[in-house]
Each structure stands twice: as structure tokens, then as C-alpha cells.
Amino acid sequence: MAWTKEQALTKIREVGLIPIVRAPSSEDALKAAEAIIAGEIGIAEITMTVPNALRVMETVAARYGDQVLLGAGTILDPESCRAALLAGAEFIVTPSLNLRVIEVARRYSKPIFPGALTPTEVVTAWQAGADMVKIFPAGPVGGPKYIRALKGPLPHVEMVPTGGVNLETTPEFIKAGAAAVAVGGELVDVKALREGNLEQITKTAKKFLEAIRAGRAALRE
């Protein structure tokens, strides 16, 4: 089944975590996706930096179907965006703000999370039709404090911090107002992949879900 835009956004809001698969080979990327699904997250973003990324997306989509909400990351241009959507991606993530990529994702009625950093970029992305805005790189510019500062004048913008997100900072990002967090190397450990230790990735995935629950519980207090 194809996910509707609202189903995909609801899933991301509920889970609060987007695992980023940036692996050195297509085989490693497939193993990482398998470990993430075993961790009961059900969301995986395959970056275009993975060798044969489109083929990996096609394989994951065919193998797992609606067990996984599949995203395409590191999308830099509208052509790559369209190719990823045709390969089975259900949401699009970019590291930078490209208005033409937003247009293509909207044409296909798929969620788009463009990368932005400054308040001007965040507002430009939101006005262009972003469903959530990826704040990247969040860690080096202040982490959770930066998200809190942005949310002050922009409470209506759903933000997904990326870069500098780990088990320790995840609850703080959620408490600062992040709709979800996106995590790469802190979750998809390349060393564990190479050693075939998929169980470690699965365990780490569950720890991240616990960290998100902790952040949300603190918000309710």
C-alpha cells in the first residue's frame, strides 16, 4: 500500500524518530533497514549518498511494503526527488533549501522536509509548502537551545533537528519543541553493520524511542 501524505505525517509525529541510513554499501544499507524495522520504529530514511540508493529503496519497498515508511534523504535537486519517489520513497528530506524540490514533492502529494538553518530559511521553506522543516546542522549552532529559540517566534512550524542528535540530547530536543528528531550515525553504527551486529542497532533504536518518550513525559509534567 502507498501511504497517504497524512498517514505518513501522522506516523512520524507518533514515533518522533527518523533513522537516517547513510551506509558505505547498498548491502549495509539493506541490513541497517532490517535492523531498524526489527527495532519497531517502522521508519527509515535512505540517503542518496548510499551506493545504488534508488535500488536500495526499491528493494526495501518491495520487501517490507507498509511495514516501513520509507524516506529518501540528501535530495539535492528535483530530478533526484522524482526518481526517489518513483523508487518507492514516501517522504523526501533535503540538507538545504531548494524550492523546486518542494514543488516536485507537493506535485506527488508526498511529505517534504527541506533543510534550513536560519529563521529566514525556515520561514521560506514553510511558506513554500514544507510539511516539517529539517533544522540542520542543529548541534553546532546550539542544539536544543537553538530549537527553543526558533520556536519562540515560529511556534506553528514543525521542526526536525538533525546533526548533534544523540541519546542524551534527544529528550532535550523534544522538550524544546521538536516534532521529531532525525538520527544517523548515533543509531546506524557502521562498525556494528560491518561486524554483522544488527542486534546492537535494534537495541539502540529502542533506546532512542525511550528517550523520545522521556522527553514527551517531561513536557506533560
Which residues are part of the catalytic machinery? 45, 134
- SS3 category, 30: helix
Between CA 167 and CA 158 the distance in angstroms is: 21
- For residue 117, the Cα-to-chain-centroid distance in whole angstroms is 16
Contacts of 74 (CB under 8 A, 6+ apart): 22, 47, 48, 49, 93, 94, 95
CA 32 vs CA 59, 89, 204: distances in Å: 13, 16, 12
Between CA 210 and CA 171 the distance in angstroms is: 9
Between CA 130 and CA 190 the distance in angstroms is: 31
